Amino acid sequence: MSILGRLKNKLSELFLDRNNSRRVVISRRKHMFAYKDDVPLDAFKRMRDDPQVSAGLSVIKLPILAQKFSVEGSPEVADTIVKAINGSYTKIVERALYAIEFGFSAQEIVWSEDDGIYTIAGTLDVDPATVRLNTDDFGEVFSYTIPGGIEVPAEKALVFTYQKEFGNPYGRSRLLPAYEVWRTKELIWLFTNRYFERKGNPPTIVKYPSSHLQAEADRNADDALEIGRALLENAVVALPSTRDEHGREIWDLGYLTDDARAGMFLDYLRYLDRMILRAMFIPDRVMTQDEAVGSYALARAHLDLFLLSEDGLLSDLEEEINRQIVARVVEYNYGKQISGVRLRISRLSQVDRELMRDVFMEMVKSGDARVPSETLARELGFPSEN
């Protein structure tokens, strides 16, 4: 058979005729991908314990979690979708946003039947470090494998990839650019604590009289060391009050001091905190309240760019929810013939944007403004800690 003939046969295999319509059949041949980034996922877990990283992740996630959803399309189908996901929607989004720090997130959907309607009873979040993603010939994730060789099938797998590049299903963590800065901060933090430890408990200096007699000099040195050890144990020491010809104490106590360098360490730590926020694409000139850098207009521009990035994240999340959840709910309850149904996630309204902008800009101008978190959460509709 000629090359052209074989090509035609291959194309005919890819296109099937069903109900007089032609559709492309995507190969479901499994390709297992292993995580191959230079930075292990466990490192991102440790990074989340850093106060600055934790605050940055909250700034990114809270506006997303605050947004409501609606469903467009046939009223009957729309009501079914709302019933199917309404109770689990917040947890689904919250766990999907793990992809921000890990590059991807994996959940297992728990389906249930309620009055003849297939609904989502909940999802189980899976540790990203234990997941192996399975893709088809076109690089799309359709299942994943967990320890023990257990494969979570397509109908139960929910995977959200953040910043997918070059077909890598594991995505790109938003913490990755901040990794080296965070490592440096960890080391500087250790050096800073050691410095304060030495500063708070400096070495003791015991001055003792010298002697031209070696035995007497050695005895005085031993006595001085014993006095120093006693001070370390918070014991009482007794010193002779002998003075030299100039009236100075022959035996004396003191502390080894140095120039104060605490400010140098703290300034560097603050600088590293700002670099962490910049690496996470968060307006550091706002969060750090640093009056020494930038201007009011520049901080406002940074905030506007950050809000645009939030809109982009909402769009990506909306697309994946429609593809992996809404489409399945429709198919399981009505079949594939239903179309035109779509979930919409609300965007940050102009009022929300102006409120965030006004609050942040006031912080920039004053440098010491403090907005109660409960007030800000209430105004923006963020989930409250209480």
The larger pLDDT score, comparing residue 138 to residue 380, is at: 138
More confident residue, 366 or 278: 278
Are 309 and 227 in the same domain?
no
Two tokens, residue 101: 């720090």
- One-letter amino acid at 58 equals S
Rounded to the nearest 5°, which phi and psi values hold at 264? -65, -45
Higher-confidence residue of 5 and 121: namely 121
For residue 114, give the nearest of 79, 145, 147 by alpha carbon. Answer: 79
Residue 14's pLDDT is 39
Buried b (16+ CB within 10 A) or exposed e, 311-339: eebbebbbebbbebbbbbbbeebeeeebe
pLDDT value, residue 272: 93
DSSP 168-183: -TT---TTGGGHHHHH
Residue 265 lies in a domain: no
Evaluate whether residue 157 is within a structural domain. Answer: yes
The residues that bridge with 120 in the sheet, in sequence order, are: 111
Exposed / middle / buried, residue 92 (Cβ in 10 Å: 0-12, 13-18, 19+): buried
- Judge whether 108 lies within some domain: yes
C-beta of residue 47 within 8 angstroms of C-beta of residue 178: yes
> Higher pLDDT residue, 323 or 211?
323
183 assigned to some structural domain? no
| pLDDT given for residue 121 in this prediction | 92
Quick one: which H or E segment has residue 36? none
**What range defines the domain where residue 118 resides?**
3-175+281-380
Residue 22 has pLDDT above 50, yes or no: no
pLDDT tens figures, 256-283? 666 667 788 889 999 999 899 889 888 7
> How many independent structural domains does the chain possess?
2
Beta carbons within 8 Å of 128's beta carbon, 6+ residues apart: 41, 98, 102, 103, 104, 105, 106
Same domain, 209 and 156: no
Nearest partner of 329 among 45, 105, 76, 144, judged by Cα: 76
The predicted-structure confidence for 134-182, as pLDDT tens digits, reads as follows 888 777 888 899 998 899 998 899 999 998 888 888 999 999 999 999 9
Specify whether 225 is located in the same domain as 158: no
> Looking at the domain assignment, is residue 276 inside a domain?
no
Residues 22 and 81 grouped into a single domain:
yes
> According to the model, what pLDDT value does residue 21 have?
35
Shared domain check, 365 and 326 = yes
Mean pLDDT across 273-300: 68
Q: Quick one: pLDDT at residue 358?
A: 66
Pair 148, 290 in one domain: yes
The reply to whether 220 and 314 lie within a common domain is no
pLDDT in tens, 313-334: 999 999 999 999 999 999 999 8
Give the amino acid at 196: F
Quote the pTM value: 0.69
Question: What is the C-alpha separation between 98 and 214, in angstroms, rounded?
Answer: 71
| Residue 218 resides in a domain | yes
CB burial of residue 164 (10 Å; 0-12, 13-18, 19+):
middle
Between 12 and 226, the more confident residue is 226
C-beta separation of 100 from 173 below 8 A: yes
Query: 248 and 285: one domain?
Result: no
Between 27 and 143, where is the model more confident?
143
Give every CB contact of residue 39 below 8 A, 6+ residues apart in sequence.
173, 176, 179
Kindly calculate the radius of gyration of the chain based on its CA atoms and give it in whole angstroms: 32
For 268-302, letters b (16+ CB in 10 Å) and e give: eeeebbbbbbbbbbbbbbbbbbbeeebeeeebbeb
Same domain, 93 and 233: no
Residue scoring higher pLDDT (253 or 184): 184
Identify the CA nearest to 281 among candidates 262, 253, 303: 303
Residue 291 lies in a domain: yes
Q: Are residues 165 and 87 in the same domain?
A: yes
Residue 333 CA to residue 341 CA, distance in Å, equals 13
Alpha-carbon distance of 81 to 120, in angstroms, equals: 10
Q: How many residues does the chain have?
A: 386
Block residue for tokens 């250790």: 190
Checking if the pLDDT of 243 tops 90, the result is no
Q: Are residues 147 and 248 in the same domain?
A: no
73-117 pLDDT, tens digit per residue, is: 889 999 999 999 988 999 999 999 999 999 999 999 999 988 888
Q: What is the pLDDT of residue 367?
A: 47
Mean pLDDT within 288-303: 58
Confidence of residue 286 (pLDDT cuts 50, 70, 90): low
Residue 360: is its pLDDT beyond 70? no
User: What's the DSSP call for residue 336?
Assistant: T
Would 189 be classed as within a structural domain?
Answer: no
Whether 358 and 235 share a structural domain = no
Q: Say what percent of the chain tops pLDDT 70.
A: 72
Which residue would you say has higher pLDDT here, 66 or 374? Answer: 66
